[in-house]
Amino acid sequence: MEPHPRDPGRTAWALPCLLLLALPGVSAQGFTLHQPQDKVPVTAGETLTLNCTTSGMDMIGGVRWLKGWGSENKTIYDQRMTSSFPRVTRAVNDSNTDFTIHIKNIQPEDMGTYYCVKYIKRDSGEEEVFQRGKGTEVSVQAKPSPVLVSGPEQRVVPGQAVPFTCTTGGFFPKEIEVKWFKNKNPISGQQPQVTEWRLKTYNMSSTVRVTLQKDDVPSQLTCEVQHSTLSAPLRGSFQLSRVLRVPPSVEVHTEPSPTEVNKTVTFTCLVKEFYPENVSISWLENGMEIKVKNISQPSELPKGLFNLESQVEVQATQEKNGSMVTCRVVHDSQAPVNSSAFLWISNSAQGESSKDSSTVDRLIYIVVGVVCTVLVLLVAAILYLIRTKQMKGKSSPSARLHEPEKSSEATTQESDPNNLTYADLNFEKERKTIRRMVEMSQQSEYACIQSNQAPNGDDNLTYADLDMVHLSKAPKRPAPRPEDTGSEYASVQITRK
């Protein structure tokens, strides 16, 4: 039987019909494909649902979901190959009209436009596009990853400015906000640097410089990130004590010196305000290590710093006089810090010599002080006696002094049984300044006056002792007449040159 020849008119009519059936939304024999979603936002990690339904007469051929359209499209679901897409499942299994799918754990790289497409099978066995949906645009919002704050790898001392970095990544959209805090107090940092990481995702990095202080052991640095995908800000923290090193101050104290021989002397090493607490102490005597029985442990201060006190006992023997006792402190594996004190013995040769020298000096000071005091008292006494003599001389109206005859022409004088010479001394009653020295002349003589009993038992005579009094001899004149009973006299014995 010969094959029935094809009708040329029929063939010409069928070709435009096939082209029309391939266009979206065009139905053949009542078939319709419906993809209702235009745009669907979803957060990374969630499950995305894409809706697609068909109606009318079923036609031979499968249904697929494609991401993108054209040469770069990608099949994410095929009705004939359910096992090759592990993240994709059917909403209604084995349904011939509902081709809604679920995509688990959606990621930013899953963003794009998705199409639900109906294929038909031709006589050649190949499938051709029969009808497709209008497409659903999927946008994925990715939350930032947990915030990480990092600092320097090595510890630093107070006063240094240290950089700290805040990082997060895998977020979308690109816009993000960063804030820095130190102990809840805002501090300024650099503008965040945002870079593209993978398809449609971004990373962020922000840096701040902080000058560390001695009291920053309990301080905390916080980075706060705000993004459109977050209901509350993300925060990352860094304890400044992780990078802070506070070196200790070291002091050595001992008992007052010098000390007695054979006495046990205690040396105390004070290690103050350091961080961290790992510290070791050793004692040296003249460079040689001393064994310490009791090892002290650091004590924590309110601000997080530490103190440590260590003691060592040394026997004060003669040969240890002047020894240097050293406390060596190694803090946090740094260079040693030393502090020293000396041991002095009180009865050593050097100590005795110093003591004897001090005693001699004290004796000299005492003797000089006594001599000076005596001299001052003597001067005061002499001045007092001179003043008394002056007062008595002023109160006496006159005195008579007689001198032995030097020649046969001398005037007649009264003889004294004690071989004393008397002279008349007349003083003016008004106050006059008494000259203590009299100019020397050829007629000057010296007299030595001795104390004697008043001659003839006269009670009205006053005597005075004069030692080497320099008298000025007046020219000879007639002997004065005897004075009244109220006159006062001085007994003068003249020693001739």
Question: Are 430 and 381 in a shared domain?
Answer: no
Task: Give exposure, 415-428, as e/b (b: 16+ Cβ within 10 Å).
Answer: ebeeebbbbbbeee
Stated pTM of the model: 0.55
Residue 326 has pLDDT above 90, yes or no: yes
Instruction: Tell me the two tokens of residue 48.
Output: 């995305």
Contact predicate 337/247, CB 8 Å: yes
Q: What is the dihedral of CA 326, 329, 330, 336, to 10 degrees?
A: -50
Report if residue 462 sits inside a domain: yes
- pLDDT recorded at residue 163: 96
Mean pLDDT of the chain: 77
Residue 216 has pLDDT above 90, yes or no: yes
Question: Are 366 and 335 in a shared domain?
Answer: no
Q: Mean per-residue pLDDT for 240-266? A: 93
Cα separations in angstroms, 260 against 253, 263, 321, 344: 18, 6, 11, 9
* Strand, helix or coil for residue 263: strand
Question: Are 238 and 254 in a shared domain?
Answer: no
Express each pLDDT in 409-436 by its tens digit: 433 344 444 444 444 444 444 444 434 4
- pLDDT recorded at residue 56: 85
Higher confidence at residue 162 or residue 393?
162
Express each pLDDT in 202-213 by its tens digit: 999 999 999 999
Choose the most confident range, by mean pLDDT, from 46-50, 117-121, 464-468: 46-50
Higher confidence at residue 175 or residue 353?
175
Question: Are 36 and 136 in a shared domain?
Answer: yes
Residue 390 has pLDDT above 70, yes or no: yes
Number of structural domains the chain divides into: 5
- pLDDT recorded at residue 475: 53
Cα of 350 vs its chain's centroid, Å: 42
DSSP readout, 307-363?
EEEEEEEEEE-GGGTTEEEEEEEEETT---EEEEEEE-BTTSHHHHHHHHHHHHHHH
- Residue 304: HSE in the Cβ half-sphere, 13 Å Cα cutoff: 16
Question: Are 176 and 201 in a shared domain?
Answer: yes
Domain residue limits at 484: 396-497
Report if residue 15 sits inside a domain: no
> Of 111, 141, 171, which closes a domain?
141
Question: Are 67 and 134 in a shared domain?
Answer: yes
Higher confidence at residue 103 or residue 433?
103
Contacts for 40 with CB less than 8 Å, ≥ 6 apart: 48, 49, 50, 136, 137, 138, 139
Q: Mean per-residue pLDDT for 32-39? A: 94
Report if residue 2 sits inside a domain: no
Task: Give exposure, 239-263, as e/b (b: 16+ Cβ within 10 Å).
Answer: ebbebbbbbbebebebeeebbebee
* Strand, helix or coil for residue 18: helix
Question: Are 76 and 181 in a shared domain?
Answer: no
Question: Are 154 and 214 in a shared domain?
Answer: yes
- pLDDT recorded at residue 477: 55
Higher confidence at residue 57 or residue 320?
320
Q: Mean per-residue pLDDT for 193-201? A: 84
**CA separation for the pair 389, 399 (Å, rounded):** 14
Note every long-range contact of 295-301, with CB atoms under 8 Å and residues 24 or more positions apart, other chains counting: 301/273
Higher confidence at residue 149 or residue 354?
149
Report if residue 10 sits inside a domain: no
Question: Are 224 and 332 in a shared domain?
Answer: no
Express each pLDDT in 256-309 by its tens digit: 888 889 899 999 999 999 999 999 999 999 999 998 877 889 999 999 999 999
Report if residue 14 sits inside a domain: no
Residue 225 has pLDDT above 70, yes or no: yes
Query: 7 burial class (0-12, 13-18, 19+ CB within 10 angstroms)?
Result: exposed
Instruction: Tell me the two tokens of residue 284.
Output: 């040296």
Residue 201 has pLDDT above 60, yes or no: yes
Tell me, what CATH number does 298's domain have?
Answer: 2.60.40.10
Question: Are 337 and 369 in a shared domain?
Answer: no
- pLDDT recorded at residue 479: 53
> Of 242, 277, 303, which closes a domain?
242
Report if residue 126 sits inside a domain: yes
